[in-house]
Chains A and B, each alone.
Chain A
Amino acid sequence: MSMLAATLSSGWFLENAWLIPLIPAIGFVLIILFGKRMPQGGSEVGLVSMAASLAIAIGATVQWIQRVNSASAEGEHALGGFFGFARAIVPTATEEGGHSAAFVEPVVRTWTWWQSGGLEFGVGQHIDGLAIMLLLLVTFISLLVQIYSTEYVSGDRRFTHFFAALTLFSAGMLVMVLAENMIQLILGWEIMGLCSFMLIGHWWEETANSKAALKAFFTVRVGDVGLLVGTAVIFFGANDWAVERGSNGFSIRAISAWALSGEASNSVLFWGGVALFIAAIGKSGQFPLHTWLPDAMAGPTPVSSLLHSSTMVVAGVFLVARVYPVFFVGFDILDTAVNLITIIGGITIIAAAALAFVQDDIKKVLAYSTVSQLGYMMLGLGVGAWLPAVFHIFTHAFFKCALFLAAGSVSHSGSHHSFDMKKDMGGLARKMPVTATTWMISTAALCGIPFFSGFFSKDEIIDNASHNGYQFFYWVGLIGAAMTAAYMTRATYLTFFGKARGAAAGEHHDDHADDHADDHGADHGHDAHGHDDHHDAHAGPHESPWRITAPLVILATLAIFSGYLNAPAVGTHYFTDWVEPVGVAVEADALHSAGDEGHALGLAAVTAEEGGYSEGCGFSDPAEGTVCYAPKLSHAVFSWSKAAPSILLVAFGISISAWLSMGVFGDRRNPLKGLTSRSGIARRGHAFLVNKYYLDHLYEGVIVRAVAYPMAKAAYWINQNILDGIVNGVGRSGRSTGEWVYRNLDQRVVDGAVNASGFIASETGHALQPVQSGKVNQYGALLFGAATVGAIVLILVNI
């Protein structure tokens, strides 16, 4: 291992990346204070601040890539690549078949934030590949969602507040992403919790919405106990070690280095990891705390899309990825066949996917799909596939955001603000071609169809599970992939194909019409989606305006191409080079370097060789005077033969589901429709009209009901009754315990004792009352009588 000191390139954007969350935070304040008086109701501030953040994020990304390249160049004495920021790919002698990357010092800056016991704790930025990736992603998606929202929520009664909350939400996520230490991470984490509360409960006039908001905040808060406890555990574990090296136990760099130093106590790491993971479960909607996520669909659709793509729910995954060494060492990842992360991730994948089958609400299908995909990310982290998991965050953000926005577009312009696929959708593909196309592309990406982005990330997770020896979870991943394909096909069919139903067919619901008649002209609508209804005039579904479709098109494009940043099938690995931290030991003084002048130290092989490592960071303790910041992870080598099972299963899932969907949902409503000919009706003709119901019965009643329903319904039942029941029950019993304690203990026992002493004093007083006649003479007599008695006693005693 060569230890070469080299100067890394840096730049204004990298050094000042802390501006990225600050700008939207200031934007939030401006919107709150002045938004209502602005011509666009404050949305312009939101858009401008997100655009400014995006600009800085792009600048920072470019400079980060240059930095990575300069490190590689210095390290390998060879500058390769094209356009200045492709990294050098030079085979080295260190590992045959692999290629090496140099350690890239993150850009760290801190300012004193608070102090205690003489230790100063900072707030600042910690910019590495992971942070850069998410900064770019979050600012980009936030900007698109805000553009979309200007149309989607226009005329809403709380337009300004919506944009304020949306902007603060992005700020919260960005604060967390570039957090230098755990406290700052908690800050961003909780700001997001607050904003999710505000946004999910945006239409708080309805009790259901405010309950959903409460549930989201509360469930996440349960997980946050883990965050507080975990931070405390890790802090005291790492602090002494870190202080010796000029840092402190909150610093993320110090925690990572300490966890890999070999001096960390394993039990501290384990329990700290468990506690932090509980927080991740709550935030990322992992089983069994996922129940808030589908309910959170009560919020406006742009919120759902932002929440479910790049912010909020990703935070839990990010937390695990951020302090990965804690989990890597604490849970013995790669050394054991199973660990907490893989178990939870695995259960989540299957359980959530099963639930997605029985949803009628298009957003709920997507919600469960998000839960399931987050399970993949967790699984990836659990099996030691750090990079594929992070890559999946990246690709998933684009296609899931596109899916939600497409669902919003359908409801906005196609189904008259309904999200019910069975009642109000169907056959929209021809009416809304852009929405349908982008939806379909994103679905393909989500299902992991080859050459769409999801394939490159999800398949890597599954592949690495097997590569790292987690055979069982390899199968879980495969089954999950098939289920994903199936439920998405069902949702696609119900929404865009088949016969138009309800609002999609141009019907207006009576209750909607009434509502709009009521408050027509007021600047705040009453229907569940808060719109001033300017669609009364339109007769039926139509394509959405450009402010909705433009983000869709951009996102769908990225849903295809973002995967090629790291597509082993075509030989690209930019994402790996730019994002993955290099697991090599570096000189210890790097721990507290201000980041102004970075040192690139050392080289190591990092990518693409079969078999794992037995030494290096994460496997053996770093040498004296050196530290590791990331474990040295191996990557499975892609091959089409290994990808084949998942491709086949996905294809199988799609075709089975399409076949069943057409049969079940198509026939029953219109047996004559040619689209459903493959269901068997056309084959048997009109003569079997009556028998069609037998078929339906067979499909729906026997196959679907016997296979999908019991399983999915049971899961849903457990979800609604047991898990939800526990949450509700805990709340209810907490309240009744509170009431009981208050009524019996507090009011009777504790308070009773107090009142009793007062009572005794008062009764004694009453007993002595006659003496107080009010007559001065009597008082005088008593006084002198008493004095006489006293005198006599005195005399007697003295004699």
Chain B
Amino acid sequence: MYAVNFLILGALLFALGVFGVIARRNAVMVLMSIELILNAVNVNLIAFALMNDSAEGHVFALYVIAVAAAEVGVGLAMVLMIYRNRRSIALDELSALKG
């Protein structure tokens, strides 16, 4: 099918992203992995939008891009603050969320 190729691409990107989130220690890499995941979603959204010939998918994709930009902005700011305070951005050393 026409859409299948895009979906496979999306799935691959998503898997890469998940791997990055789980496996990488560097916070910046994790953030980038999250971007990958979001873009995987975007690919899917566009693919389905084209397939169904509707505009909603495009709108959503644009929306996600905007949100992702904001999210990266906040995320990088946090990473920066963490680095300033701890001189490290290794995630496994951060456990302030421990319950």
A residues contacting B by CB (< 8 A) are: 765, 768-769, 771-777, 779-781, 784
CB<8 Å pairs between A and B, sample of 8:
A773-B98, A774-B94, A774-B96, A775-B92, A776-B97, A777-B23, A780-B21, A781-B22
**Given A777-B22, A780-B21, A772 and B30 touching (CB < 8 A)?**
no
Across the interface, name the chain A residue whose C-beta is closest to B91.
A776
Residues of A within 8 A of B18 (CB): 780, 784
Task: Tell whether, in the assembled complex, residue B97 and residue A784 are in contact, meaning their CB atoms are under 8 Å apart.
Answer: no
Q: How far is the CA of A540 from the CA of B78 in the complex (A)?
A: 96
Residues of B within 8 A of A775 (CB): 91-92, 94-95
Give the secondary structure class of A's interface. Answer: helix
Residues of A within 8 A of B30 (CB): 776-777, 780
Residues of A within 8 A of B99 (CB): 765, 768-769, 771-772, 774
Q: How far is the CA of A776 from the CA of B21 in the complex (A)?
A: 9
A414 to chain B, nearest CB (A): 85
Q: Which single member of A765, A773, A784 contacts B22 (CB below 8 Å)? A: A784
B10 to chain A, nearest CB (A): 14
**Given A777-B22, A780-B21, A784-B22, A772 and B91 touching (CB < 8 A)?**
no
Residues of B within 8 A of A768 (CB): 99
Give 15 new A-B contacts, CB below 8 A, not counting A774-B99, A777-B25, A780-B30: A769-B99, A773-B98, A774-B95, A774-B97, A774-B98, A775-B94, A776-B30, A776-B91, A776-B94, A777-B22, A777-B91, A777-B92, A779-B97, A784-B18, A784-B22
B13 to chain A, nearest CB (A): 14
Name B1-30 residues within 8 Å CB distance of A.
18, 21-25, 30
Residues of A within 8 A of B91 (CB): 775-777
Q: How far is the CA of A495 from the CA of B79 in the complex (A)?
A: 100
Q: How far is the CA of A772 from the CA of B98 in the complex (A)?
A: 5
Residues of B within 8 A of A784 (CB): 18, 21-22
Write the B9-53 contact mask toward A (1 if CB under 8 angstroms, else 0).
Answer: 000000000100111110000100000000000000000000000
Write the B79-99 contact mask toward A (1 if CB under 8 angstroms, else 0).
Answer: 000000000000110111111
Q: How far is the CA of A769 from the CA of B22 in the complex (A)?
A: 21
Task: Tell whether, in the assembled complex, residue B21 and residue A772 are in contact, meaning their CB atoms are under 8 Å apart.
Answer: no
Across the interface, name the chain B residue whose C-beta is closest to A772.
B99
Q: How far is the CA of A238 from the CA of B63 in the complex (A)?
A: 77
Residues of A within 8 A of B94 (CB): 774-776
B residues contacting A by CB (< 8 A) are: 18, 21-25, 30, 91-92, 94-99
Residues of B within 8 A of A780 (CB): 18, 21-22, 30
Q: How far is the CA of A777 from the CA of B18 in the complex (A)?
A: 10
Across the interface, name the chain A residue whose C-beta is closest to B98.
A774
Interface centre among A768, A774, A781, by most B CB within 10 Å?
A774
Task: Tell whether, in the assembled complex, residue B22 and residue A772 are in contact, meaning their CB atoms are under 8 Å apart.
Answer: no
Residues of B within 8 A of A765 (CB): 99
Q: How far is the CA of A768 from the CA of B24 in the complex (A)?
A: 26
Task: Tell whether, in the assembled complex, residue B21 and residue A777 are in contact, meaning their CB atoms are under 8 Å apart.
Answer: yes
Q: How far is the CA of A768 from the CA of B98 in the complex (A)?
A: 12
B90 to chain A, nearest CB (A): 10
Residues of B within 8 A of A774 (CB): 94-99
Residues of B within 8 A of A779 (CB): 97
Task: Tell whether, in the assembled complex, residue A773 and residue B95 are in contact, meaning their CB atoms are under 8 Å apart.
Answer: yes
A125 to chain B, nearest CB (A): 75
Q: How far is the CA of A784 from the CA of B15 in the complex (A)?
A: 10
Interface centre among A771, A773, A777, by most B CB within 10 Å?
A777
Residues of A within 8 A of B21 (CB): 777, 780, 784
Residues of A within 8 A of B92 (CB): 775, 777
Residues of A within 8 A of B95 (CB): 773-775
Residues of A within 8 A of B22 (CB): 777, 780-781, 784
Q: How far is the CA of A771 from the CA of B95 in the complex (A)?
A: 12
Q: How far is the CA of A401 from the CA of B22 in the complex (A)?
A: 99
Q: How far is the CA of A765 from the CA of B18 in the complex (A)?
A: 28
Task: Give 4 nearest A-B pairs by CB, closest first.
Answer: A774-B98, A772-B99, A774-B95, A774-B97
A167 to chain B, nearest CB (A): 70
B17 to chain A, nearest CB (A): 10
Across the interface, name the chain A residue whose C-beta is closest to B34.
A780
Q: How far is the CA of A777 from the CA of B21 in the complex (A)?
A: 6
Residues of B within 8 A of A781 (CB): 22
Q: How far is the CA of A784 from the CA of B96 in the complex (A)?
A: 21
Residues of A within 8 A of B24 (CB): 777
Residues of B within 8 A of A769 (CB): 99
Q: How far is the CA of A772 from the CA of B99 in the complex (A)?
A: 5
A788 to chain B, nearest CB (A): 9
Across the interface, name the chain B residue whose C-beta is closest to A785.
B22
Residues of B within 8 A of A773 (CB): 95, 98
Q: How far is the CA of A780 from the CA of B95 in the complex (A)?
A: 14
Q: How far is the CA of A777 from the CA of B96 in the complex (A)?
A: 13
Across the interface, name the chain A residue whose C-beta is closest to B14.
A784
Q: How far is the CA of A769 from the CA of B95 in the complex (A)?
A: 13
A773 to chain B, nearest CB (A): 6
A520 to chain B, nearest CB (A): 73
Across the interface, name the chain A residue whose C-beta is closest to B23.
A777
Q: How far is the CA of A781 from the CA of B21 in the complex (A)?
A: 8
Q: How far is the CA of A774 from the CA of B98 in the complex (A)?
A: 4
A763 to chain B, nearest CB (A): 14
Across the interface, name the chain B residue whose C-beta is closest to A788.
B18
Across the interface, name the chain B residue whose C-beta is closest to A776.
B91
Residues of B within 8 A of A777 (CB): 21-25, 30, 91-92
Q: How far is the CA of A777 from the CA of B23 in the complex (A)?
A: 7
Q: How far is the CA of A780 from the CA of B94 in the complex (A)?
A: 14
Residues of A within 8 A of B97 (CB): 772, 774, 776, 779
A337 to chain B, nearest CB (A): 85
Across the interface, name the chain B residue whose C-beta is closest to A779.
B97
Q: How far is the CA of A784 from the CA of B92 in the complex (A)?
A: 18
Residues of A within 8 A of B25 (CB): 777
A394 to chain B, nearest CB (A): 84
A766 to chain B, nearest CB (A): 9
B9 to chain A, nearest CB (A): 19
Q: How far is the CA of A765 from the CA of B92 in the complex (A)?
A: 23
B97 to chain A, nearest CB (A): 4
Residues of B within 8 A of A776 (CB): 30, 91, 94, 97
Q: How far is the CA of A774 from the CA of B30 in the complex (A)?
A: 16
Q: How far is the CA of A779 from the CA of B18 in the complex (A)?
A: 12
Q: How far is the CA of A114 from the CA of B25 in the complex (A)?
A: 78
A774 to chain B, nearest CB (A): 3
B4 to chain A, nearest CB (A): 17
Q: How far is the CA of A772 from the CA of B97 in the complex (A)?
A: 7
Q: How far is the CA of A714 from the CA of B20 in the complex (A)?
A: 99
Across the interface, name the chain A residue whose C-beta is closest to B37.
A784
